[in-house]
Amino acid sequence: MERFDPKELEIPKSGESLPEGALELPRQRASCPICKGKGYLLRQLPTGEADLVPCRCKLRQLQESDYQELQRLSNLEPFAEQTFENFEIVPGSQEAYELSLTFAENPQGWLLLMGNYGSGKTHLAAAIANHALGGHIKTLFTVVPDLLDHLRASYAPDSPVRYDQRIETVRTVFLLILDDLGTENATPWAAEKLYQIINYRYNYQLPTVITTNRDLDEIEPRIRSRIWDKQLCRHVLIKAKDYRRWGRRKS
């Protein structure tokens, strides 16, 4: 197995931005000139013993795999056309549009978009996701009931992803967008899983967007207490009328 200079192994540090294109979908590549396609390198330790470490091509492969899983879970294809450019600003939606765009350009803290059906919440949430993905930011967009279904499915013996792996991905992804909080079945299991996700992100103050058409008093108390923290979470009430009544498709 090839020996190498440890400086050749470029492992991204925590919080360090990845080079442009680092999260592109996999494509056919020539054999890595460092590891010759093996994926791992032999490092000589000061003790004289040898240790295997992943080559940077292997690290890139793992990053891409993680990105693909996020894309699959997000299922953003139905929302691919929902961008800031084609969001129609109507009376009652101006503030939500401006704050959502500001958040998308610099994801920090939490953003809560509240409003009735058809007010544009999902369009703005999807626009944030599409903008972030366009900037190679690891993002998970998910409708809350669908997320819970994915978590349940990971318990199955034939599931390609274990439950602990899936919930860890959801909890730790840089930007999490939860659409339609409060529409899930209010079972103790669902409440507990959502609390685990939201509480983790609250403790580590990870960028999070939540949409809901429910009054906050109807949200599970432990989750509501995190969302009510105005120092972390910006609340925006969208007062726009239902776009569907005007013949437009919004949610």
Domain end marker among 63, 83, 107: 63
Q: What is the pTM of this model?
A: 0.71
Residue owning tokens 């680092």: 22
Do 51 and 85 sit in the same domain of this protein?
Answer: no
| 29: containing domain | 6-63
15 assigned to some structural domain = yes
Report the candidate in 24, 12, 14, 236 with the shortest Cα–Cα distance to residue 125: 236
178 assigned to some structural domain = yes
217 assigned to some structural domain = yes
Extended strands (E) in 68-124: 110-115
Name the helix (H) or strand (E) containing 235. strand 233-238
Q: Phi/psi at 158 (nearest 5 deg)?
A: -95, 10
Q: What is the pLDDT of residues 108-160, one digit of tens each?
A: 999 999 999 888 999 999 999 999 988 888 899 999 999 999 999 999 998 88
Q: What is the CATH number of the domain that holds 111?
A: 3.40.50.300
CA distances from 138 to 9, 147, 207, 217 (A): 22, 17, 11, 31
pLDDT of 82 above 80:
yes
Do 119 and 215 sit in the same domain of this protein?
Answer: yes
- Name the residue type at position 52: L
How many residues would you count in the chain? 251
Q: What is the pLDDT of residues 94-108, one digit of tens each?
A: 999 999 999 999 999
The whole-angstrom separation of Cα 71 and Cα 196 is: 22
Q: How many domains does one find in the chain? A: 2
